[in-house]
């Protein structure tokens, strides 16, 4: 087994990590990073958070850091412990596949330990909103605007893939489409979309390192986003960092061995509590992590976005755009995400063609809808869970009521219409209910709750 060295250094506009002779940077607007008072603690914690999964991919014995011991290592280890069960189950049907290797890693931190001093920013009742152009981030932005939080949108720019991997040309197009959407969004909303360039995303990607396919690399995305948002909370005097983590992120399944597996644990309400503990230490309790869509199912998010904020919905880009079919369209129309968004739009009377989605009710797209597939591929995460099937059952039913046509509509009528009609009341109550918020301050909830209730009560 080889060792892995992580050398971290501060830059005038961010941080550089050197891993296996590759230099990867995080670059902020100069004025944002220059005024940020927690650069050292930010760098040493990000270095650890961003590299542990790569160490497991490479099966290294030891990881040597030139930074001091990261203050939040116990937080991150809690995250890894929960997240690795899903990765192990996806990769080998063994939830604890990666735990022995992780626990046996030898870690050394050679940096000189210095006293940590937290720094309380001057904040106002404002928010930093992550803007991915997914439906949750768009709805979160609309809600933040409506309740008066004067949201500052922040888009994290992860470099698109364009490389040869074992004889296959791998390309992704997320940034291509994001850079097309940003100026249009800015012009219409008369505001600036802030960006941060994040090359550390390459540490999560097996093809960047010519390694076997694995689910490893997905454990820390939201936690990393928190660190990327934090300097903006200081520079923009914002009390809240708002993520678009809906209630569906709390869902889990039990493996064949009976182990609880969360497809997206670091987006769960439970982990948001951990993040608030972390950020309370850094900011002396001045900044809080919030998800305004936390009480909603994924389908409820779509319902409210399409009904109340159609001028935001037209910017939606939920596809990962990692298929060649997405080169000239921000929807590949070849994944479960595209299929689900299509039927949600048809259910709530929003035109899929207006955002570039093809007609996915043709029978050739049947395999992309979990409703029509009895097999369970856990690598599809949330879309293999019962809740996802029930959402599609109700969505197809509402699409029929809206007059939708197509081969899959006819198949639905034949195979599932009776079940959907019989369960309609149950499905509506479960999918369109408000779950108790765990991470929304009461004074914000008093403003958000009436909006959500008003939209969820609207009969389709």
Cross-strand bridge partners of residue 176: none
Interval 23-52: pLDDT, tens: 999 999 999 999 999 999 999 999 999 999
**C-alpha 270: how far from its chain's center?**
15
Neighbouring residues of 240: CB distance < 8 A, sequence distance ≥ 6: 126, 127, 128, 149, 287, 288, 289, 290
Give residue 315's pLDDT: 97
- Residues facing residue 327 across a β-bridge: none
**Residue 46 φ then ψ, to 5°:** -65, -35
The conformation of residue 441, written as its DSSP 8-state character, comes to -
Distance CA 73, CA 71 (A): 6
CA gap 73, 51 in Å, rounded: 12
Q: Which residue ranges form the domains of the chain, and what is each CATH number?
A: 3-111+120-296+435-457 (3.40.50.620), 300-431 (no CATH)
Looking at residue 323, its pLDDT comes to 82
Residue 380 confidence (pLDDT) above 80: no
Question: CA 336, CA 158: separation in Å to the nearest integer?
Answer: 22
Give CA–CA dist 36/31, Å, rounded: 9
pLDDT value of residue 383: 56
Query: Which percentage of the chain shows pLDDT scores above 70?
Result: 97
> Could you report the per-residue pLDDT of 204-233, keeping only the tens digit for each?
999 999 999 999 999 999 999 999 999 999
pTM: 0.94
For the chain, the C-alpha Rg in angstroms (whole number) is 22
DSSP class of residue 68 equals: P
* CA pair distance 393, 387, nearest whole angstrom: 10
Q: Please check the confidence at residue 378 and state whether its pLDDT lies above 70.
A: no
Q: Which pairing describes strands 62-65 and 106-109: parallel, antiparallel, or unpaired?
A: parallel
pLDDT in tens, 256-310: 999 999 999 999 999 999 999 999 999 999 999 999 999 999 999 999 999 999 9
* Residue whose token pair is 């049947």: 366
DSSP string, 226-291: HHHHHHHHHHTTEEEEE----GGGG--EE-TTS-EE-TTGGGSHHHHHHHHHHHHHHHTT--EEE-
3-state secondary structure string across 317-379: CCCCCCCHHHCCCCCCCCCHHHHHHHHHHHHCCCCHHHHCCCCCCCHHHHHHCHHHCCCCCHH
Can you tell me the distance from the alpha carbon of 37 to that of 86, in angstroms, rounded to the nearest whole number? 36
Nearest to 57 by CA among 179, 242, 208, 212: 212
**Predicted confidence (pLDDT) per residue in 51-102, tens digit:** 999 999 999 999 999 999 999 999 999 999 999 999 999 999 999 999 999 9
Alpha-carbon distance of 177 to 123, in angstroms, equals 33
pLDDT at position 376: 53
Q: Phi, psi (5° rounding) for residue 273?
A: -60, -40
Burial 153-164 (b: 16+ CB within 10 A, else e): bbbbbbbebeee
Q: Which residues pair with 260 in a beta bridge?
A: 254
| Nearest C-alpha neighbor of 448 from the set 189, 237, 142 | 142
Tokens of 148: 């008066």
Average pLDDT over every residue of 94-114: 93
Q: Report the pLDDT averaged over residues 187-207.
A: 95
Q: If 0-12 CB within 10 Å is exposed, 13-18 middle and 19+ buried, where does residue 125 land?
A: middle
β-partners of residue 154 are: 130, 194
| Share above pLDDT 90 across residues of the chain, in percent, rounded to a whole number | 88
> How many angstroms separate the CA atoms of 369 and 393, rounded?
10
- Bridge partners of 436, per DSSP, are none
């Amino acid at each position: 087994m080889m060792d892995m060295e992580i050398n971290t250094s501060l830059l005038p506009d961010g941080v550089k990590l050197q891993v296996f002779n590759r230099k990867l940077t995080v670059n902020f607007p100069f004025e944002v990073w220059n005024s940020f008072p927690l650069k050292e603690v930010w760098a040493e914690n990000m270095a650890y958070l961003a590299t542990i999964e790569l160490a497991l991919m490479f099966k290294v014995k030891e990881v040597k850091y030139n930074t001091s011991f990261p203050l939040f290592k116990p937080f991150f280890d809690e995250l890894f412990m929960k997240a690795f069960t899903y990765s192990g189950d996806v990769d080998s049907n063994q939830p604890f596949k990666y735990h022995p290797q992780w626990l046996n890693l030898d870690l050394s931190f050679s940096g000189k330990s210095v006293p940590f001093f937290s720094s309380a920013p001057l904040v106002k009742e404002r928010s930093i909103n992550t803007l991915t152009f997914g439906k949750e981030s768009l709805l979160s932005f609309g809600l933040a605007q409506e309740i008066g939080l004067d949201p500052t949108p922040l888009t994290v720019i992860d470099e698109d893939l364009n490389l040869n991997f074992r004889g296959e040309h791998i390309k992704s197009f997320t940034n291509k489409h994001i850079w097309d959407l940003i100026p249009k969004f800015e012009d219409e909303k008369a505001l600036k979309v802030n960006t941060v360039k994040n090359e550390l995303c390459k540490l999560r990607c097996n093809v960047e390192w010519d390694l076997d396919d694995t689910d490893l690399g997905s454990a820390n995305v939201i936690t990393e986003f928190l660190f990327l948002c934090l300097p903006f909370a200081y520079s923009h005097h914002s009390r809240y960092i708002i993520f678009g983590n809906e209630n569906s992120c709390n869902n889990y399944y039990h493996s064949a061995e009976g182990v609880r597996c969360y497809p997206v644990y670091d987006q769960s309400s439970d982990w948001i509590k951990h993040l608030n503990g972390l950020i309370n230490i850094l900011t002396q309790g001045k900044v809080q992590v919030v998800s305004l869509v936390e009480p909603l199912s994924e389908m409820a998010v779509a319902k409210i976005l399409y009904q109340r904020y159609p001028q935001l919905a037209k910017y939606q880009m939920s596809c990962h755009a990692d298929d060649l079919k997405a080169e000239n369209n921000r929807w590949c129309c070849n994944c479960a995400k595209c299929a689900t968004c299509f039927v949600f739009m048809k259910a709530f009377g929003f035109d899929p063609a207006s955002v570039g989605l093809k007609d996915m009710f043709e029978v050739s797209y049947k395999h992309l809808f979990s409703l029509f597939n009895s097999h369970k591929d856990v690598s599809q995460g949330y879309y293999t869970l019962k809740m996802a099937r029930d959402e599609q059952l109700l969505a197809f039913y509402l699409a029929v009521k809206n007059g939708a046509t197509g081969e899959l509509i006819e198949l639905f009528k034949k195979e599932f219409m009776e079940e959907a009609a019989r369960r309609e009341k149950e499905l509506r109550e479960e999918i369109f209910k408000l779950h108790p918020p765990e991470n929304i301050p009461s004074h914000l909830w008093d403003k958000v709750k009436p909006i959500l209730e008003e939209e969820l009560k609207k009969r389709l």
